[in-house]
Each structure stands twice: as structure tokens, then as C-alpha cells.
């Protein structure tokens, strides 16, 4: 799980109960905070280093900053 060298962004995949899947890109620290908050709600969060695809940025990413 490595970040994209030029942006520092990672691929974040959210899989909701019922099967809906959303793909985004975000900074690793933001992705990890998001995952920690969503996993208890049965939302599967996968973070990997494949942010090279044109995924949209994570909406409201500023909510997951320090």
C-alpha cells in the first residue's frame, strides 16, 4: 500500500452494505481517519496505492483533517 509519488494520494474504495461501491482519491492520513470512522458502521474501506486512475477527490475531505 504505497501512495502515488507525485501526489501523495491513495485510492480509497468504500463498499456499503447492499453492495454499492464508491472510489475516491485522498491523502493517506485523511483516508485512514475516514476508514477508522466508517468501519464501525459496517462500511468496508480499502486503501491502496492505486490513485493513478482518474478517481474523483474524496468529498468533504476537510472533515477528516486534524
SS3 of 1-66: CCCCCCCCEEEEEEECCCCCEEEEEEEHHHHHHHHHHHHHHCCEEEEECCCCCCCCECCCHHHHCC
pLDDT digits (tens, 9 = 90+) for 20-48: 999 999 999 999 999 999 999 999 999 99
Q: What is the pLDDT of residue 7?
A: 54
Amino acid at each position: 500500500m504505497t501512495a502515488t509519488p507525485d501526489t501523495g494520494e491513495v485510492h480509497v474504495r468504500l463498499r456499503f452494505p447492499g453492495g454499492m461501491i464508491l472510489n475516491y482519491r485522498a491523502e493517506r492520513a485523511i483516508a485512514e481517519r475516514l476508514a477508522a470512522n466508517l468501519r464501525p458502521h459496517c462500511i468496508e474501506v480499502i486503501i491502496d496505492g492505486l490513485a493513478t486512475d482518474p478517481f474523483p477527490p474524496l468529498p468533504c475531505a476537510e472533515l477528516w483533517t486534524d
